[in-house]
Structure 1
Amino acid sequence: MSVQFLEDLAAGQKYRSGKRRVDAEAITAFASEFDPQPFHLDDTAARGSIFRGLAASGWHTAATTMRLIVEGEFRPAGGVVGAGCEELRWPLPVRPGDELHVETEVLELRASKSRPDQGIVKVRNTTFNQKDEPVQVFVVNLIVQRRPGS
């Protein structure tokens, strides 16, 4: 799959990722290392929490989203390089057995005034579960290279 330079992108374009299943072992392994709270580590403890059952850390969802984006159709020239996050929400928890996929929508783009070889692209990455319910919404500005000679 070829990369998309700034000139190849336009507001409204959408790109999709493949799918990735999240199991209980991955949820507890991630949480053990990075977010060791009871509702991410133990189903019994999680049942008594706001989640009412084992739930992946939001940071686990974010990391999985990043993996799906990098392996998906959206291939900005220069890589997926963030310049700042404008929004990050987790409308629903990710549960064991959920199969996630991401839709990336180009919202805005502009050429850089100080660096003529690159621009900024604002995208909304929405991570969905297997029921097509959004589990994460992430709006970010990315640095994207311009086509050489543009």
Structure 2
Amino acid sequence: MVELHGLTKVFKNIRAVDNLSFRVEEEIYGLLGENGAGKTTTLRMLVAMVKPPSGTAKINGKDLIKEPEAIRSIVHEPKVMLFDEPTSGLDVGSVREVHDFIRFCKEEGKTIIFSSHSMAEVEKLCDKIGIIHKGKLIEEGSIEVLKEKYKTDNLEELFMEFGR
């Protein structure tokens, strides 16, 4: 399980991640947002590459802010997998292999956070999505529920509603 609460990161005067909170359990969670929205910074905080000044980030109950060394203990046979645009620049066959691997991880009961700019890829893989805009989580839920809520059958159109 991955649980973020009030996670914040500021670079100079820019709030890359702003009071971000969400929880992911044994599912594929798509982290969506435009370039600069805070997706990669969030993932980097989850692997202790970037230290947030405030908030908490827990993976399987281990607080990665207070115990950054705990990340090392989950390297072998991890229960949580983080994928930051894993298919960017890959050919079709390689993309399929990555997708198959991500699905296999889910079948193994792993918790997965996946960022992508490909809405087709997100629809194909994700059980739930969170949309980040300027470092804030502005919407979250299953794709079906969000499409119904915003009265669209197109995930790209739904996503663009938040950029306007």
Q: Could you say which structure has the higher helix fraction?
A: 2
* Greater Rg over alpha carbons, structure: 1
The answer to whether TM tops 0.5 is no
Normalised to the residue count of structure 1, the TM-score between the two structures is 0.25
